[in-house]
Structure 1
């Protein structure tokens, strides 16, 4: 399957971004909001800083496209995209959380574990969505 087609890449990126944003919004705003509030208290901003948040999502999804979805498309295996997405999520979220745990006095170890697992799951699911959308277009 030729994966260099710009429309195929745009569809993969868009689908991945939509899935990532929708699931992460639910996670952050509903499921984890009280956990973050209890664990981080006064460190939390009243409202998000939108510019860096948008930049993170745009860049991270590009990373999923390059490091998980494209290899999955080349291999013609959704499992490859999912596994590489999970690995990227574990590494990226681990970089953030383990650095915080190493350098911030009151950063909770439990939050580190939850975030790393979440990064792996969210990235695997999102990469799979991007893979599926692109592979269907490539038929």
Structure 2
């Protein structure tokens, strides 16, 4: 496997997990529990969450980081990541608004904005890490 993709994946993965952990576990916990109440589980379904994170990060690498190879800028990478985040999070939130009682517009707006920020930022970090010249490490 090309180490570029591995570094891109790991950079985006670590960034996404740290940011989402802080967002969901500390910063926005009260907001989501206050707005969604009984819709939320007390503990996440971790196997499902892990599958989501693994697949979503692959999407970031494929749709935001990979197209910028050799011709991208940080702005381009952020823009492509932010657009991917907008589309993914809007799909989730709009579907929930269309099918669930109690999924409010305020939750959708905050969540979509978060998707833009976290995906754009994770894209930049993954790109930056991937563009670091490889060393003579046995892992390359």
> TM-score under structure 1 normalisation?
0.92
Name the structure 1 match of 2:60.
64
Name 2:87's counterpart in structure 1.
91
Q: CA deviation at 1:96?
A: 0.3
Distance (whole Å) between structure 2 residues aligned to residue 79 and residue 116 of structure 1: 20
Residues of 2 paired with 1:60 and 1:80: CA distance? 19
Aligned twin of 1:122: 118
In 1, Cα distance between equivalents of 2:105 and 2:72: 38
Shift of 1:24: 0.6
Unmatched 5+ stretches in structure 2:
136-140
Equivalent of 2:33 in 29, 34, 37: 37
RMSD: 1.4
Q: 1:77 aligns with which of 61, 73, 77?
A: 73
> Which position in structure 1 is the counterpart of 2:3?
7
- Counterpart of 1:110 (choices 90, 102, 106) is 106
Distance, in Å, in 2 between the alignment partners of 1:90 and 1:131 is: 19
Structure 1 unaligned regions, length at least 5? none
Runs of 4+ in 1 over 4 A off after TM superposition: none
